[in-house]
Structure 1
Amino acid sequence: MPVRSNPTWRQLRLGSELRKMRERAGLTATEAGGLIGIKQAQVSNMETGRLGVSAERVRTLACRYDCTDDALVAALAAMTGDRKRGWWEEYREILPNSLLDLAELEHQSHRLRGAITAHIPGLLQTADHAREIFARDVPAIPPPEVEHRISFRIKRQAVLYGDKPRPYHAFVHEAALRTEVGGPVTARAQLKHLLEMGEAAHITIQAISFKAGAVPGSGQSIYYAYGSVPPLDTVHLDQSHGLVYLDSEAQLVKYRLLFDKIGSVALSPAASRDLIHNIRRDL
């Protein structure tokens, strides 16, 4: 099996979980290879997502590593192989791989939670709102790529529709709600879209008012994707230097607690709707 040069998020995460499992067993890569009859380099390549691994091999490794978490093993086995190409693959070589990884992460998630201070969450943005955001990026994005990014963002929103929409809980700061991105007309349309999306049973939108004061986690965009089992949860941070993915147990615990704290200072969904209505009315 050839070694991959650019593994996807799913392949990287599978390898990372195999490495964690091996380390919990107290084994080196060389020792692990000896248990299943492969070289240390092959183990290392599997753990970095550069070498494919079958579901059978995942189960064999779990057995050799004395892993008794059957749900985790089954979830990892389901992540193996070369899956059917997702819609995001049409953007490969057009947009950064990190964006494609985000789309795959959303597609594989079972539930999503996000908190953002400066902007409306991407999954809740209108095309016109997104266009204004991308058009003011630094350094400037070429116009053709802006259009690619807009279409990519709108297609990402498909996880909120269809037969199995992902439950989504978004915290949006009042600063983002009041910022007239694209002018009053675009801003009113964006707020109307938020109100309409918030009507869906699986979507919860809570506003954080200025009166809440200092807010935990403010200053960064935080995204929490729930995996099929808790160890496969992922935190996604959108920072000025790029996208960052976190998945250690300590990090997951920290950000779950952070979201709980944000929820404790946010307005209720009903009060949030009233605030959005009032802001839209005043535009």
Structure 2
Amino acid sequence: MKMRPTYTDSEDLGLVRQAHSPTVRRRRLAAELRRIREEKGLTIDQVAEQLDWHATKLSRFETGRRAVQPSDVRALLAVYEVQDRERDALLTLAREARQRGWWHAYGQAVPEWFEVYVGLESEASALHLYESEFVPGLLQTGDYIRAVHRAAQIRASEEEVDQRVMVRVARQKLLENDDPPHLWVIINEAAIRRPVGGVQVMRTQLEYLVQAATLPHVTLQVLPFSAGAHPAMGGGFHVLQFGPNDPDVVYIEYPTGTIYLEKQSEVERYTLMFNHLRAAALPTDSSGELIARVASELGK
């Protein structure tokens, strides 16, 4: 992505991205361990008893809620009698799952409840986002990011705001990868009309959106007021899509935390909602024209 906007005090982030997200690796390892146990016809209680573990420990391994030590994986694979290449591949996966993600370099600027999302986002093949109140983070300019954080983090110091801006800029490098995810964004018209950060900041943000929409891996639509009632009037959501080895995830954020939905029925419901929004939103060309028109009207 060659046309990134200029960001104050954030050009040299010293960022080294990992080739793979440890978050995604943990999910994949959890799924594989669960699959192997079920193929062997063993229950969680039976395996836990053989290893002298509490059943909760294994359950958390299989749901990805707890990191798995390579030594624990070896013990499980011995019980399951897994050998040779499959064993080596799973042990490699276990080691990769324990690596620290690039976001750990930013410390508390990335809250623990948000780390999972950043890890998933880093390796998604497609991101389908609906936002009702603001421009999605991956397409925000530096000044817009700062204004959003100042409004949301009422008690944050200027240093804390600066750190959060840098984290969001680091996340945006995802769109500059050689093989970036396909980003499909639907923005409520209210989000392009609310002058976040003031007239000049908002005009620059809207002009950047028009430019970003020309990228081959970015699709941008505006859901106009004229669409009336729609399925996502409760708020924004993200559908993160992966390859065949990793199930899709729905992400919903609220002021004090996040919700991750992974059940197939839940993901299908939000995928259907997104498809309805795509149909109700303006076509891409018309969306770009509306954004450009709103930008030109600002300050008049």
**Alpha-carbon distance between aligned partners in 1 of 2:123 and 2:104, rounded to the nearest angstrom:** 15
- The DSSP-based 3-state class of the residue aligned with 1:112 is strand
Are 1:214 and 2:238 an aligned pair? no
What's 1:43 paired with?
A: 58
Shift of 1:162: 2.2
Which stretch of structure 1 is more off in the superposition, 170-179 or 218-227? 218-227
Shift of 1:89: 1.6
**Alpha-carbon distance between aligned partners in 1 of 2:185 and 2:207, rounded to the nearest angstrom:** 16
Are the aligned partners of 1:58 and 1:77 in contact in 2 as well (CA < 8 Å)?
A: no
**Alpha-carbon distance between aligned partners in 1 of 2:204 and 2:66, rounded to the nearest angstrom:** 42
Shift of 1:230: 6.8
Are 1:152 and 2:130 an aligned pair? no
* Residue number among 80, 85, 102 corresponding to 1:87 in the alignment: 102
The change in CA–CA distance for 1:139 and 1:77 in structure 2 (over 3 A counts) is: farther
What's 2:183 paired with?
A: 168
What's 2:151 paired with?
A: 136
What's 1:118 paired with?
A: 133
The change in CA–CA distance for 1:237 and 1:53 in structure 2 (over 3 A counts) is: farther
Listed as ranges, the gaps of 5+ residues in structure 1 are: 1-7, 65-69
Are 1:17 and 2:17 an aligned pair? no
* Residue number among 269, 272, 284 corresponding to 1:269 in the alignment: 284
What's 1:67 paired with?
A: none
Larger relative contact order (Cα-Cα within 8 Å, sequence gap ≥ 6): 2
The change in CA–CA distance for 1:110 and 1:132 in structure 2 (over 3 A counts) is: same
**Alpha-carbon distance between aligned partners in 1 of 2:185 and 2:114, rounded to the nearest angstrom:** 20
The one-character-per-residue Cα deviations of 1:167-225 (angstroms, maximum 9, x if unpaired) are: 10000111000011111110110001101110100100011000001121123221111
The change in CA–CA distance for 1:120 and 1:270 in structure 2 (over 3 A counts) is: same
Are the aligned partners of 1:126 and 1:190 in contact in 2 as well (CA < 8 Å)?
A: yes
Matched residue type, 1:39: D
What's 1:237 paired with?
A: 252
- The DSSP-based 3-state class of the residue aligned with 2:94 is coil
Matched residue type, 2:194: T
Are the aligned partners of 2:130 and 2:187 in contact in 1 as well (CA < 8 Å)?
A: yes
What's 2:268 paired with?
A: 253
Shift of 1:241: 2.6
**Alpha-carbon distance between aligned partners in 1 of 2:208 and 2:156, rounded to the nearest angstrom:** 26
- The DSSP-based 3-state class of the residue aligned with 1:104 is helix
The one-character-per-residue Cα deviations of 1:225-251 (angstroms, maximum 9, x if unpaired) are: 112227521111111231221111111
What's 2:239 paired with?
A: 224
Are the aligned partners of 2:70 and 2:91 in contact in 1 as well (CA < 8 Å)?
A: no
Matched residue type, 1:28: T
The change in CA–CA distance for 1:149 and 1:129 in structure 2 (over 3 A counts) is: same
The change in CA–CA distance for 1:220 and 1:59 in structure 2 (over 3 A counts) is: farther
What's 1:4 paired with?
A: none
Shift of 1:111: 1.2
Shift of 1:29: 1.3
Shift of 1:59: 10
The change in CA–CA distance for 1:77 and 1:109 in structure 2 (over 3 A counts) is: farther
The change in CA–CA distance for 1:94 and 1:131 in structure 2 (over 3 A counts) is: closer
Matched residue type, 2:52: K
Are the aligned partners of 1:22 and 1:32 in contact in 2 as well (CA < 8 Å)?
A: no
Aligned residues: 268
Which stretch of structure 1 is more off in the superposition, 23-32 or 237-246? 23-32
The change in CA–CA distance for 1:192 and 1:79 in structure 2 (over 3 A counts) is: farther
TM-score, with normalisation over the residues of structure 1? 0.81
How many percent identity over aligned positions? 27
The change in CA–CA distance for 1:76 and 1:217 in structure 2 (over 3 A counts) is: farther
Matched residue type, 1:212: A
Are the aligned partners of 1:173 and 1:208 in contact in 2 as well (CA < 8 Å)?
A: yes
Are 1:281 and 2:296 an aligned pair? yes
What's 2:9 paired with?
A: none
